[in-house]
Amino acid sequence: MDLQIFWFCLIGLLWAGYFLLEGFDFGVGMLLPFLPRDEGERGVMFETIGPVWDGNEVWLVVAGAATFAAFPAWYATMFSGFYLALLLVLFFLIIRVVSFEWREKSESPVWREIWMWANTVGSFGAALIWGIGLSSLLYGVPINSDGDFTGNLLDLFRPYTVAAGVAVVLLFAFHGATFLTRRTTGDLCERAAAAARRLAIPAAAVATLALVWTVVVAVDRNDKDLFPPLLPAALGIAALAFAVYFIFARRSGAAFTMTALGTVLFVATLFTSLYPRVMVSSTDFANSLTIDSASSSHYALAVMTVVALVITPLVLLYQGWTYYVFRHRLGGDEHAADPVELVARKTGA
Protein backbone atom coordinates (compact mmCIF):
# COMPACT_ATOMS: atom_id res chain seq x y z
CA MET A 1 0.00 0.00 0.00
CA ASP A 2 1.02 3.53 -0.71
CA LEU A 3 2.57 5.00 2.44
CA GLN A 4 0.79 8.33 1.94
CA ILE A 5 -2.53 6.49 2.04
CA PHE A 6 -1.43 4.58 5.13
CA TRP A 7 -0.54 7.81 6.95
CA PHE A 8 -3.70 9.56 5.85
CA CYS A 9 -5.68 6.63 7.26
CA LEU A 10 -3.59 6.55 10.42
CA ILE A 11 -4.17 10.26 11.05
CA GLY A 12 -7.88 9.68 10.46
CA LEU A 13 -7.72 6.82 12.93
CA LEU A 14 -5.97 9.01 15.51
CA TRP A 15 -8.69 11.66 15.17
CA ALA A 16 -11.34 8.94 15.42
CA GLY A 17 -9.69 7.62 18.57
CA TYR A 18 -9.54 11.14 19.95
CA PHE A 19 -13.23 11.77 19.23
CA LEU A 20 -14.25 8.39 20.59
CA LEU A 21 -12.31 8.66 23.86
CA GLU A 22 -11.96 12.35 24.58
CA GLY A 23 -15.52 12.65 23.22
CA PHE A 24 -16.99 11.20 26.38
CA ASP A 25 -14.51 13.12 28.53
CA PHE A 26 -15.75 16.32 26.91
CA GLY A 27 -19.35 15.12 27.30
CA VAL A 28 -18.86 14.49 31.00
CA GLY A 29 -17.28 17.93 31.30
CA MET A 30 -20.25 19.57 29.58
CA LEU A 31 -22.71 17.85 31.91
CA LEU A 32 -20.84 18.81 35.10
CA PRO A 33 -22.97 21.86 35.95
CA PHE A 34 -26.24 20.06 35.25
CA LEU A 35 -26.20 16.48 36.53
CA PRO A 36 -24.73 16.41 40.05
CA ARG A 37 -26.75 17.41 43.08
CA ASP A 38 -23.79 18.00 45.35
CA GLU A 39 -20.01 18.22 45.50
CA GLY A 40 -19.74 14.48 46.16
CA GLU A 41 -21.50 13.64 42.91
CA ARG A 42 -19.36 16.12 41.02
CA GLY A 43 -16.35 14.34 42.43
CA VAL A 44 -17.75 11.04 41.17
CA MET A 45 -18.22 12.51 37.70
CA PHE A 46 -14.65 13.77 37.69
CA GLU A 47 -13.44 10.39 38.84
CA THR A 48 -15.17 8.50 36.02
CA ILE A 49 -12.72 10.10 33.60
CA GLY A 50 -9.94 10.95 36.06
CA PRO A 51 -7.69 7.98 35.32
CA VAL A 52 -8.08 8.13 31.53
CA TRP A 53 -8.55 11.68 30.22
CA ASP A 54 -4.83 12.38 29.95
CA GLY A 55 -4.16 9.25 27.93
CA ASN A 56 -7.16 10.12 25.76
CA GLU A 57 -5.79 13.55 25.01
CA VAL A 58 -2.55 12.04 23.75
CA TRP A 59 -4.51 10.84 20.71
CA LEU A 60 -4.77 14.50 19.70
CA VAL A 61 -1.12 15.20 20.42
CA VAL A 62 -0.08 12.25 18.28
CA ALA A 63 -2.51 13.21 15.51
CA GLY A 64 -0.88 16.65 15.42
CA ALA A 65 2.67 15.29 15.51
CA ALA A 66 1.88 12.65 12.87
CA THR A 67 0.52 15.37 10.60
CA PHE A 68 3.72 17.38 11.15
CA ALA A 69 5.89 14.38 10.34
CA ALA A 70 3.95 12.76 7.49
CA PHE A 71 2.40 15.81 5.80
CA PRO A 72 4.51 18.86 6.76
CA ALA A 73 2.78 21.12 4.24
CA TRP A 74 -0.64 20.19 5.61
CA TYR A 75 0.51 20.83 9.17
CA ALA A 76 2.13 24.15 8.19
CA THR A 77 -0.86 25.50 6.26
CA MET A 78 -3.50 24.24 8.66
CA PHE A 79 -1.85 25.40 11.86
CA SER A 80 -0.79 28.81 10.56
CA GLY A 81 -4.10 29.28 8.73
CA PHE A 82 -6.36 28.27 11.61
CA TYR A 83 -4.27 30.43 13.93
CA LEU A 84 -6.89 32.15 16.06
CA ALA A 85 -9.13 29.10 16.16
CA LEU A 86 -6.22 27.02 17.44
CA LEU A 87 -5.29 29.71 19.95
CA LEU A 88 -8.82 29.37 21.29
CA VAL A 89 -8.49 25.59 21.35
CA LEU A 90 -5.25 25.91 23.32
CA PHE A 91 -6.96 28.22 25.78
CA PHE A 92 -9.86 25.79 26.25
CA LEU A 93 -7.64 22.72 26.51
CA ILE A 94 -5.25 24.35 28.98
CA ILE A 95 -7.91 25.52 31.44
CA ARG A 96 -9.49 22.08 31.17
CA VAL A 97 -6.26 20.14 31.70
CA VAL A 98 -5.32 22.00 34.87
CA SER A 99 -8.87 21.82 36.21
CA PHE A 100 -8.53 18.05 36.67
CA GLU A 101 -5.50 18.31 38.89
CA TRP A 102 -6.15 21.57 40.67
CA ARG A 103 -9.89 21.47 41.50
CA GLU A 104 -9.45 19.12 44.41
CA LYS A 105 -6.48 20.91 45.88
CA SER A 106 -8.62 23.27 47.91
CA GLU A 107 -11.86 22.90 49.82
CA SER A 108 -13.12 26.38 49.06
CA PRO A 109 -16.48 26.09 47.23
CA VAL A 110 -15.68 29.09 45.05
CA TRP A 111 -12.38 27.52 44.02
CA ARG A 112 -14.09 24.26 43.10
CA GLU A 113 -16.82 26.09 41.24
CA ILE A 114 -14.22 27.96 39.16
CA TRP A 115 -12.39 24.81 38.09
CA MET A 116 -15.59 22.92 37.39
CA TRP A 117 -16.61 25.71 35.01
CA ALA A 118 -13.14 25.73 33.52
CA ASN A 119 -13.62 22.08 32.66
CA THR A 120 -17.12 22.65 31.26
CA VAL A 121 -16.23 25.70 29.19
CA GLY A 122 -13.04 24.02 27.97
CA SER A 123 -14.98 20.92 26.90
CA PHE A 124 -17.66 22.91 25.04
CA GLY A 125 -15.20 25.21 23.36
CA ALA A 126 -12.70 22.61 22.23
CA ALA A 127 -15.43 20.31 20.88
CA LEU A 128 -17.05 23.15 18.92
CA ILE A 129 -13.80 24.34 17.37
CA TRP A 130 -12.59 20.87 16.44
CA GLY A 131 -15.90 20.28 14.66
CA ILE A 132 -15.63 23.57 12.80
CA GLY A 133 -11.92 23.16 12.07
CA LEU A 134 -12.04 19.61 10.69
CA SER A 135 -15.08 20.31 8.52
CA SER A 136 -13.35 23.46 7.21
CA LEU A 137 -10.60 21.25 5.76
CA LEU A 138 -13.28 19.78 3.51
CA TYR A 139 -15.41 22.85 2.89
CA GLY A 140 -12.35 24.76 1.79
CA VAL A 141 -10.54 27.88 2.94
CA PRO A 142 -8.61 30.47 0.92
CA ILE A 143 -5.25 28.96 -0.07
CA ASN A 144 -3.02 30.51 -2.72
CA SER A 145 -0.86 28.73 -5.25
CA ASP A 146 2.08 28.63 -2.80
CA GLY A 147 -0.06 26.61 -0.45
CA ASP A 148 -0.35 29.51 2.02
CA PHE A 149 -3.56 30.39 3.81
CA THR A 150 -4.80 33.84 2.77
CA GLY A 151 -8.04 34.16 4.72
CA ASN A 152 -8.96 35.02 8.28
CA LEU A 153 -10.82 33.50 11.22
CA LEU A 154 -14.24 34.22 9.68
CA ASP A 155 -13.46 31.96 6.71
CA LEU A 156 -13.85 29.03 9.06
CA PHE A 157 -17.41 29.97 9.99
CA ARG A 158 -19.76 28.75 7.25
CA PRO A 159 -23.27 27.39 7.75
CA TYR A 160 -21.98 23.89 7.06
CA THR A 161 -18.95 24.09 9.35
CA VAL A 162 -20.96 25.61 12.18
CA ALA A 163 -23.52 22.83 11.78
CA ALA A 164 -20.68 20.31 12.00
CA GLY A 165 -19.34 22.06 15.10
CA VAL A 166 -22.73 22.02 16.84
CA ALA A 167 -23.16 18.38 15.81
CA VAL A 168 -19.85 17.48 17.47
CA VAL A 169 -20.81 19.31 20.67
CA LEU A 170 -24.19 17.55 20.88
CA LEU A 171 -22.70 14.22 19.89
CA PHE A 172 -20.08 14.45 22.65
CA ALA A 173 -22.67 15.50 25.23
CA PHE A 174 -24.84 12.51 24.27
CA HIS A 175 -21.81 10.21 24.22
CA GLY A 176 -20.75 11.49 27.65
CA ALA A 177 -24.21 10.88 29.04
CA THR A 178 -24.34 7.27 27.79
CA PHE A 179 -20.79 6.81 29.16
CA LEU A 180 -21.95 7.99 32.59
CA THR A 181 -24.82 5.52 32.57
CA ARG A 182 -22.16 2.81 32.36
CA ARG A 183 -19.80 4.21 34.98
CA THR A 184 -22.05 5.44 37.81
CA THR A 185 -24.64 4.00 40.15
CA GLY A 186 -27.88 5.00 41.83
CA ASP A 187 -29.42 8.40 41.49
CA LEU A 188 -26.60 9.91 39.47
CA CYS A 189 -26.86 7.06 36.97
CA GLU A 190 -30.61 7.67 36.67
CA ARG A 191 -30.05 11.33 35.97
CA ALA A 192 -27.35 10.53 33.42
CA ALA A 193 -29.84 8.25 31.62
CA ALA A 194 -32.47 10.99 31.73
CA ALA A 195 -29.96 13.47 30.28
CA ALA A 196 -29.07 10.97 27.57
CA ARG A 197 -32.77 10.64 26.66
CA ARG A 198 -33.10 14.40 26.46
CA LEU A 199 -29.97 14.75 24.32
CA ALA A 200 -30.57 11.74 22.09
CA ILE A 201 -32.93 13.20 19.51
CA PRO A 202 -31.31 16.64 19.10
CA ALA A 203 -27.85 15.05 18.90
CA ALA A 204 -28.90 12.41 16.40
CA ALA A 205 -30.85 14.94 14.32
CA VAL A 206 -28.11 17.56 14.07
CA ALA A 207 -25.43 14.92 13.50
CA THR A 208 -27.53 13.39 10.73
CA LEU A 209 -27.88 16.81 9.14
CA ALA A 210 -24.12 17.35 9.40
CA LEU A 211 -23.34 13.91 7.95
CA VAL A 212 -25.64 14.39 4.96
CA TRP A 213 -24.27 17.89 4.46
CA THR A 214 -20.73 16.50 4.57
CA VAL A 215 -21.48 14.14 1.70
CA VAL A 216 -23.10 16.99 -0.26
CA VAL A 217 -20.05 19.20 0.32
CA ALA A 218 -17.75 16.35 -0.70
CA VAL A 219 -19.55 15.97 -4.01
CA ASP A 220 -20.03 19.69 -4.53
CA ARG A 221 -16.73 21.14 -3.48
CA ASN A 222 -14.24 18.27 -3.40
CA ASP A 223 -15.00 16.48 -6.65
CA LYS A 224 -16.04 13.25 -4.92
CA ASP A 225 -18.58 10.68 -6.06
CA LEU A 226 -21.45 9.86 -3.73
CA PHE A 227 -19.75 6.62 -2.92
CA PRO A 228 -17.66 6.00 -0.78
CA PRO A 229 -18.46 9.03 1.51
CA LEU A 230 -22.08 7.97 1.64
CA LEU A 231 -21.18 4.63 3.20
CA PRO A 232 -19.71 5.83 6.55
CA ALA A 233 -22.31 8.60 6.62
CA ALA A 234 -25.18 6.14 6.27
CA LEU A 235 -23.65 3.80 8.84
CA GLY A 236 -23.15 6.76 11.19
CA ILE A 237 -26.76 7.82 10.83
CA ALA A 238 -27.87 4.25 11.46
CA ALA A 239 -25.67 3.98 14.56
CA LEU A 240 -27.13 7.16 15.98
CA ALA A 241 -30.67 5.98 15.23
CA PHE A 242 -29.90 2.80 17.15
CA ALA A 243 -28.39 4.88 19.95
CA VAL A 244 -31.69 6.78 20.25
CA TYR A 245 -33.64 3.55 20.21
CA PHE A 246 -31.47 1.85 22.83
CA ILE A 247 -31.44 4.79 25.21
CA PHE A 248 -35.24 4.91 25.20
CA ALA A 249 -35.36 1.13 25.51
CA ARG A 250 -33.22 1.56 28.68
CA ARG A 251 -30.37 -0.50 27.25
CA SER A 252 -27.56 1.84 28.19
CA GLY A 253 -24.70 -0.50 27.29
CA ALA A 254 -25.91 -0.89 23.72
CA ALA A 255 -26.59 2.86 23.57
CA PHE A 256 -23.01 3.64 24.58
CA THR A 257 -21.67 1.29 21.92
CA MET A 258 -23.79 3.10 19.35
CA THR A 259 -22.74 6.63 20.38
CA ALA A 260 -19.15 5.40 20.23
CA LEU A 261 -19.72 4.05 16.72
CA GLY A 262 -21.53 7.21 15.67
CA THR A 263 -18.60 9.36 16.83
CA VAL A 264 -16.04 7.24 15.00
CA LEU A 265 -18.12 7.17 11.82
CA PHE A 266 -18.50 10.95 11.96
CA VAL A 267 -14.71 11.27 11.67
CA ALA A 268 -14.62 8.47 9.08
CA THR A 269 -17.13 10.36 6.93
CA LEU A 270 -15.05 13.54 7.09
CA PHE A 271 -11.82 11.78 6.16
CA THR A 272 -13.41 9.66 3.42
CA SER A 273 -14.88 12.85 1.97
CA LEU A 274 -11.55 14.59 2.14
CA TYR A 275 -9.39 11.92 0.47
CA PRO A 276 -7.16 12.34 -1.52
CA ARG A 277 -7.01 15.99 -0.54
CA VAL A 278 -6.10 17.14 2.98
CA MET A 279 -7.11 20.79 2.66
CA VAL A 280 -9.43 22.08 -0.04
CA SER A 281 -8.69 25.53 -1.42
CA SER A 282 -11.68 27.80 -1.92
CA THR A 283 -9.56 30.23 -3.93
CA ASP A 284 -8.83 27.76 -6.69
CA PHE A 285 -9.52 24.05 -6.43
CA ALA A 286 -6.14 23.38 -8.05
CA ASN A 287 -4.42 24.94 -5.02
CA SER A 288 -5.81 22.26 -2.72
CA LEU A 289 -3.26 20.28 -0.73
CA THR A 290 -3.25 16.57 -1.49
CA ILE A 291 -1.69 13.61 0.25
CA ASP A 292 0.94 13.57 -2.47
CA SER A 293 1.75 17.27 -2.61
CA ALA A 294 1.88 17.65 1.18
CA SER A 295 3.71 14.47 2.16
CA SER A 296 7.15 13.69 3.49
CA SER A 297 9.69 11.60 1.60
CA HIS A 298 9.23 7.88 1.16
CA TYR A 299 12.11 7.09 3.51
CA ALA A 300 10.74 9.23 6.36
CA LEU A 301 7.30 7.68 5.95
CA ALA A 302 8.77 4.17 5.85
CA VAL A 303 10.71 4.71 9.09
CA MET A 304 7.67 6.05 10.88
CA THR A 305 5.48 3.29 9.49
CA VAL A 306 7.71 0.68 11.11
CA VAL A 307 7.63 2.56 14.43
CA ALA A 308 3.85 3.02 14.26
CA LEU A 309 3.23 -0.64 13.43
CA VAL A 310 5.32 -1.76 16.40
CA ILE A 311 4.10 0.73 19.01
CA THR A 312 0.43 1.30 18.18
CA PRO A 313 -0.68 -2.25 19.10
CA LEU A 314 1.13 -1.91 22.44
CA VAL A 315 -0.60 1.39 23.13
CA LEU A 316 -4.00 -0.12 22.33
CA LEU A 317 -3.19 -3.03 24.59
CA TYR A 318 -2.25 -1.03 27.68
CA GLN A 319 -4.91 1.63 27.18
CA GLY A 320 -7.45 -1.15 26.84
CA TRP A 321 -6.13 -2.70 30.03
CA THR A 322 -6.56 0.67 31.81
CA TYR A 323 -10.24 0.68 30.89
CA TYR A 324 -10.48 -2.86 32.21
CA VAL A 325 -8.88 -1.86 35.54
CA PHE A 326 -11.28 1.07 35.92
CA ARG A 327 -14.37 -0.70 34.62
CA HIS A 328 -16.37 -0.69 37.89
CA ARG A 329 -19.14 1.77 38.55
CA LEU A 330 -18.59 4.68 40.91
CA GLY A 331 -20.90 6.32 43.41
CA GLY A 332 -22.66 5.56 46.67
CA ASP A 333 -21.18 5.56 50.14
CA GLU A 334 -17.54 4.97 49.32
CA HIS A 335 -17.42 8.45 47.85
CA ALA A 336 -19.43 10.19 50.51
CA ALA A 337 -16.23 11.37 52.15
CA ASP A 338 -14.32 14.02 50.32
CA PRO A 339 -10.75 12.83 49.79
CA VAL A 340 -9.08 16.13 50.59
CA GLU A 341 -11.19 16.55 53.70
CA LEU A 342 -10.25 13.05 54.72
CA VAL A 343 -6.56 13.79 54.42
CA ALA A 344 -6.93 17.13 56.13
CA ARG A 345 -8.72 15.44 59.02
CA LYS A 346 -6.02 12.81 59.32
CA THR A 347 -3.21 15.28 59.32
CA GLY A 348 -4.89 18.07 61.24
CA ALA A 349 -3.98 20.51 58.48
Shortest distance, position 266 Cβ to another protein, whole Å: 23
Environment class of 79 (CB within 10 Å of its CB; exposed 0-12, middle 13-18, buried 19+): middle
Q: Considering beta carbons, is residue 52 or 270 the nearer one to another protein?
A: 52
Shortest distance, position 149 Cβ to another protein, whole Å: 5
Q: Considering beta carbons, is residue 95 or 128 the nearer one to another protein?
A: 95
Shortest distance, position 36 Cβ to another protein, whole Å: 15
Q: Considering beta carbons, is residue 33 or 151 the nearer one to another protein?
A: 151
Shortest distance, position 301 Cβ to another protein, whole Å: 9
Q: Considering beta carbons, is residue 150 or 219 the nearer one to another protein?
A: 150
CA distance 122 to 125: 5
Q: Considering beta carbons, is residue 7 or 174 the nearer one to another protein?
A: 7
Environment class of 315 (CB within 10 Å of its CB; exposed 0-12, middle 13-18, buried 19+): middle
Shortest distance, position 244 Cβ to another protein, whole Å: 32
